[in-house]
């Protein structure tokens, strides 16, 4: 019957998806090693298979892989797999579901930091997040964007303009915050829900709005440290 055929096709596609992920992940590990050690000829050789496949898939394979890692029901396994792809992640860091990481080898996350659901961590030009930072749900951080003034809609040259993002210890980014390229968020700063951060934020400042502006200050006696415990299947 049609229902039986549909179920067979669905099961086959499910198996094929995980076969691809299991086979492609080691290749992307090699790619991550090369990105972190570009002078090493052995790692460069390891990166070739992943590069060829990514060229064929228009660099969709890595994003597909990251998405499927992000829905694995284990915070420990997700963190381990991200580290395998080259991300620099300290202990007790927590990644909730559906984190999208771009260029994980350029991502640095400190101890105890919490990444909320549906985060976009664009590390293509470097993303450094300190210790005990809290990202609420739907936070998006970008280190690269198009230039609307460019006749070819290209991206700014990182050599001419700082594009990396740095977020210092114990900063708190509320739900739906957007951080644009080149921003430095100081220690203990708070970015209120829904704000768009276009400029540097002073330590312990509270900013809100579009674009984000200072509306207050946070106490400078912060002592909390996140312990890495979170809701989970495991």
List, by residue number, the catalytic residues: 146
Radius of gyration of the chain (CA): 19
Dihedral angle, C-alpha 65, 144, 45, 88, nearest 10 °: -70
Place of tokens 């990251």: 66
**Cα gap 179→112, rounded to integer Å:** 21
**62, containing H or E segment:** helix 61-70
Q: Are strands 107-109 and 184-185 parallel, antiparallel or unpaired?
A: unpaired
Other CB atoms within a 10 A radius of the CB of residue 26 amount to 13
Give Cα 125 to chain centroid, integer Å: 12
């Amino acid at each position: 019957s049609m229902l039986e055929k549909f179920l067979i096709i669905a099961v086959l596609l499910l198996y094929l998806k995980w076969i691809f992920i299991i086979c492609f992940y080691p290749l992307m590990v090699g790619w991550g090693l090369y990105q972190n050690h570009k002078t090493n000829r052995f790692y460069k050789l390891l990166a070739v298979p992943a590069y060829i496949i990514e060229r064929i898939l228009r660099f969709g394979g890595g994003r597909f892989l990251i998405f499927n890692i992000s829905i694995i029901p284990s915070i420990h396994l997700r963190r381990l797999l991200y580290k395998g792809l080259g991300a620099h992640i300290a202990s007790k860091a927590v990644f909730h579901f559906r984190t999208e990481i771009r260029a994980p080898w350029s991502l640095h996350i400190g101890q105890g930091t919490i990444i909320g659901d549906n985060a976009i961590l664009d590390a293509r030009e470097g993303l450094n997040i300190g210790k005990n930072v809290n990202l609420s749900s739907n936070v998006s951080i970008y280190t690269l964007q198009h230039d609307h003034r460019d006749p070819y809609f290209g991206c700014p040259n990182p050599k001419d303009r700082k594009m990396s993002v740095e977020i210092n210890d114990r900063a708190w980014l509320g739900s739906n915050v957007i951080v644009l390229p080149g921003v430095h968020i100081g220690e203990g700063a708070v970015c209120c829900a829904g704000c768009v951060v276009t400029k540097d934020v002073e330590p312990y400042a509270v900013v809100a709005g579009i674009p984000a502006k200072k509306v207050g200050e946070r106490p400078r006696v912060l002592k909390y440290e996140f312990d890495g415990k979170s809701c989970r299947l495991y």
